Structure 1
């Protein structure tokens, strides 16, 4: 399974990633609609979604980093994929944080141009989607966060030496 941060045997990082993905997507949508109609509501929507996305990304990064640092074997190909996944997410976080810093002071106006917000949010979302592809590769190809059957574990000898950190103790384990 490799995941070190778990709740009742379920990895925490995949539970949290929906928040930054939704926040980042909402940020881009808000800027696009604001660019089209100029209504302050949509700039405020973009700012609020950006706050949610950046906060969610920071929260999701903690168990993700723990899984990468403490769970994935050093000699596994998953270590490099995980590092690239994290790197793209850090770039996305930085782009959305810059966007937030530029626009957050304009909650009540005055109107602000959308070119920078659209460009940074688009680039950040491309990084997020690319990181998501690598995250899925970690699940699909390297079985990160997947509870394997005993038969599958015998095909993956590295799994036998990894013990997940458990928040909920199973009596059968």
Structure 2
């Protein structure tokens, strides 16, 4: 009897069939979301600890996100079924915008500690968090609606 299940696209960036992108993205996302809290704590208390914590978190988020995005980019470029999905392209574009902002945020903080956070840092942090939410929504649609990176073989 023929299966009525659709063919789901497989990930090319995978270890033992487990896609790398969803494995790698959790820590950078957590760092960039927690950055909102450490920035707010610094603005509230002016304690330099929170400024240092924010610098580390935005660095982990930006650099870790770049590594995770490489795995996602491999799938986008090398898997035709993923490449054909508008949701995949939207997810990639939003993720690139978010990583660009996170990288800018880190660079500004690294070059001018103390000054940047009060001027632009918190705004960039909030914008980055909003883009993370949008990228997460689109990534969820890729998994749950389009089956990207999902193994449904139950034989």
Give the TM-score range, shorter chain: 0.7 to 0.9
Name structure 2 gaps, 5 residues minimum.
1-8
Alignment equivalent of 1:6, drawn from 11, 14, 34: 14
TM-score, normalisation: structure 2 = 0.87
Greater mean deviation of Cα atoms: 60-69 or 18-27: 18-27
Name structure 1 gaps, 5 residues minimum.
152-173
- Determine if contact 2:11/2:17 at 8 Å carries over to the other structure: no
Q: How does 1:118-157 map to 2 (within 5 A)?
A: 118-149=122-153
Q: Give SS of 1:73's match.
A: helix
Which of the two has higher C-alpha Rg?
A: 1
TM-score, normalisation: structure 1 = 0.78
Q: How does 1:91-102 map to 2 (within 5 A)?
A: 91-102=97-108
Displacement after TM superposition at 1:75 (Å): 7.7
Write out per-residue CA displacement over residues 118-172 of structure 1, whole angstroms, 9 at most, x where no aligned residue: 1001001100110000000000011001001268xxxxxxxxxxxxxxxxxxxxx
Greater mean deviation of Cα atoms: 64-73 or 39-48: 64-73
- Determine if contact 1:26/1:50 at 8 Å carries over to the other structure: no
Q: How does 1:1-173 map to 2 (within 5 A)?
A: 1-73=9-81, 76=84, 79-107=85-113, 111-112=114-115, 113-149=117-153
Could you list the structure 1 runs, at least 4 aligned residues long, displaced by more than 3 angstroms after superposition.
Answer: none
Displacement after TM superposition at 1:74 (Å): 6.7
The alpha-carbon distance between structure 1 residues 5 and 121, as it changes in their structure 2 partners (threshold 3 A), is: same
Displacement after TM superposition at 1:116 (Å): 1.1
- Determine if contact 1:31/1:114 at 8 Å carries over to the other structure: no
Q: Which has the higher relative contact order, 1 or 2, with Cα contacts under 8 A spaced 6 or more apart?
A: 1
Aligned partners of 2:147 and 2:82: how far apart in 1?
A: 15
- Determine if contact 1:2/1:144 at 8 Å carries over to the other structure: yes
The alpha-carbon distance between structure 1 residues 74 and 95, as it changes in their structure 2 partners (threshold 3 A), is: closer
